[in-house]
Amino acid sequence: MSFSLIDPALEPIATKVLAGERLSASDGAVLYRSRDLIGIAQMADHVRRRLNGDRVYFMVNRHINPTNICENRCKFCAFSRSKGQKGAYEMTLDEIVTAARECVPEGAHEVHIVGGLHPEWPFEFYVEMVARLRDALPDHVIIQAFTAVEIEYYAQISGLTTLEVLRRLKEAGLDAMPGGGAEIFSERTRLAAWEKKTSADDWLRIHGEAHSLDIKTNCTMLYGHIETIEERVDHLVRLREQQDASGGFLAFIPLAFHPANTELADLPGTTGYDDLKTLAVARLMLDNIPHIKAFWIMVGLKVAQLATAFGVDDIDGTVVEERITHMAGATTPEALSKDDLVSLIFETGHTPVERDTLYRVVRVYDDAPSSGSSKTPAEDG
C-alpha cells in the first residue's frame, strides 16, 4: 500500500505509518506545517481503519453543568460567572437528579457532568451528588463527571489529596472522568490565559491517579488561540507518554477554541482546515489512545462528518443540553436525536455504532433510520 502524497516532506512519515512505527515530535511539527491535507488524511484514515475498522461511534448521553459560578474566571472562558453576577446560576441536588433522570427514557448510557468551581459548595456536596445520581439511575447509565481542575479544587477545599478525593467519589459511584481542563500544557499559555487552572504536571498526575483506581478518562487539547505548533505537538507527546505510563485514556478530543464573549474575543475562530488537520495529526501521533473524537458541538456537524475521513472514529452523542461552548458563541444545535446521529454517520459511508462511555457496544446499525430524510440537521453558517 502507498499514499498519494504531494508534499515530499511527508514521505518518511508515511513509511513509519505503514510500518506501524511511532512518530516523533519533529514528525508532528512536519505534519502541522504541511499543506498536503489530503495526504495527511490518507495516513490518518489508514491508522483509524487499522484500529477501529469501518465503525464510527456515538452515544445517547446527557450533559449537565450544575453551576457556572466559578472561582477562577479564566480569560478564555465565556461560561463562568461570579456569585451574584447577571447570568450566574446554580442547580440544587434535586434539580441535578431530575435532569439526569430525564435522559433515561431516551436510552441514555451516560450522564456527563462538569461545572464551575463554586466558592460555597463543600466537597461533600459533590460526593452526595454522585451518590444520589447512582441511586437514581439504572446501572447501565455511567456517571462521567468532574475534570482534573475540579478534582484539584475539591482537594483544596477538603484538605484531602487528589487521590483520596478520587477514591471517595468512586466509592460514591463515579465511573469515569471527562478530559477537560487540559487546555494546552504549555506553561506560557497557562500564565497568559488560565493562570489559576491546574498545571500540566498536576493534570497528568490526577489522570494517572484516576487510572490507578480503574477510573477511565478522556483527554483533550484546546487549540486555536495563542498556542504555537510546537506547543500543540508537545501536548500530544505528553498525553502519549502518560498513556504509556497509566493506560486509562479512552479517547482524545481536540476542542476548537470559541473566542466570542471571552477576554480573547479579538482572536479568530478556528477554520475547517485547521480542525480537520488537528484531528488527523492527533490520530497519527496518539498511537496508544484507541479513539479520536470530533465533538460536533465544537467543530460543527459538517466538519464532524468530514472528520471521519481524517482519522476520527467517534462524533460524541446526543448531548441534550450544552451550555459551555454555546455561551462562547457556538451556533451548532444544543442536542441531536439518535436518528440524527445514525443518519449523519451513514452518509459518510461508515457503520454507526452506539456505545457507552467505556466503548462497550450497545447496538450496531446496519440500516439507516427509515423515517425522516437524510438531510443534515439545521446548522448555522
Question: How far apart are the C-alpha atoms of 93 and 122, rounded to whole Å?
Answer: 13
- Contact present, 71 and 119 (Cβ < 8 Å): yes
Question: How far apart are the C-alpha atoms of 18 and 101, rounded to whole Å?
Answer: 47
Extract the C-alpha cell encoding 287: 498511537
Encode pLDDT of 183-200 as tens digits.
999 999 888 877 778 899
Backbone angles phi, psi at 314, to 5 degrees: -155, 135
Q: By mean pLDDT, which of 78-82, 112-116, 370-374 is the weakest?
A: 370-374
> pLDDT-based confidence at 336, cuts 50/70/90?
confident
Which amino acid is located at 218 in the chain?
Answer: N
Q: What percent of the chain has pLDDT over 90?
A: 73
Question: How far apart are the C-alpha atoms of 323 and 337, rounded to whole Å?
Answer: 18
Encode pLDDT of 16-42 as tens digits.
999 999 999 999 999 999 999 999 999
| Higher local confidence (pLDDT), 42 or 325 | 42
Q: What integer pLDDT is reported at residue 355 of this predicted model?
A: 96
> pLDDT-based confidence at 263, cuts 50/70/90?
low
Q: What percent of the chain has pLDDT over 70?
A: 89
Q: What integer pLDDT is reported at residue 48 of this predicted model?
A: 98
Burial-class residue 283 by CB neighbours within 10 Å (0-12, 13-18, 19+).
Answer: buried
> pLDDT-based confidence at 367, cuts 50/70/90?
confident
Q: What integer pLDDT is reported at residue 262 of this predicted model?
A: 64
Q: What integer pLDDT is reported at residue 77 of this predicted model?
A: 65
Average pLDDT over residues 270-284: 96
Which residues are CB-contacts of 279 (< 8 A; sequence separation ≥ 6)? Answer: 44, 254, 292, 294, 307, 310, 311, 312
Encode pLDDT of 48-64 as tens digits.
999 999 999 999 999 99
Is residue 379 predicted with pLDDT exceeding 50? no
Question: How far apart are the C-alpha atoms of 76 and 192, rounded to whole Å?
Answer: 10
Mean pLDDT of the chain: 89
- Contact present, 64 and 335 (Cβ < 8 Å): no
Is residue 70 predicted with pLDDT exceeding 90? no
Is residue 329 predicted with pLDDT exceeding 70? no
**DSSP structural state of residue 69:** B
- Contact present, 262 and 224 (Cβ < 8 Å): no
Extract the C-alpha cell encoding 266: 479579538
Q: Which helix (H) or strand (E) holds 64?
A: strand 61-64
> pLDDT-based confidence at 79, cuts 50/70/90?
low
Which amino acid is located at 67 in the chain?
Answer: T
Is residue 324 predicted with pLDDT exceeding 60? no
> pLDDT-based confidence at 164, cuts 50/70/90?
very high
Tell me the domains of the chain and their CATH numbers: 55-364 (3.20.20.70)
Q: Which helix (H) or strand (E) holds 254?
A: strand 249-256
> pLDDT-based confidence at 378, cuts 50/70/90?
very low
Question: How far apart are the C-alpha atoms of 36 and 89, rounded to whole Å?
Answer: 46
Average pLDDT over residues 269-287: 96
> Would you list the DSSP string of 288-305?
TS-EEB--HHHH-HHHHH
Question: How far apart are the C-alpha atoms of 381 and 323, rounded to whole Å?
Answer: 19
Look at the alpha carbons of 310, 312, 313, 315 in this order and tell me if their dihedral is positive or negative: negative
Is residue 156 predicted with pLDDT exceeding 90? yes
Q: What integer pLDDT is reported at residue 75 of this predicted model?
A: 60
Q: What integer pLDDT is reported at residue 331 of this predicted model?
A: 45
- Contact present, 272 and 266 (Cβ < 8 Å): no
Q: By mean pLDDT, which of 127-131, 241-245, 278-282, 293-297 is the weakest?
A: 293-297
Q: What integer pLDDT is reported at residue 349 of this predicted model?
A: 96
Is residue 248 predicted with pLDDT exceeding 80? yes
> pLDDT-based confidence at 322, cuts 50/70/90?
very low
Average pLDDT over residues 223-242: 96
Which letter, b or e, does each residue of 95-116 get, where b requires 16 or more Cβ atoms within 10 Å of its Cβ? ebbebbbebbeeebbbbbbbbb
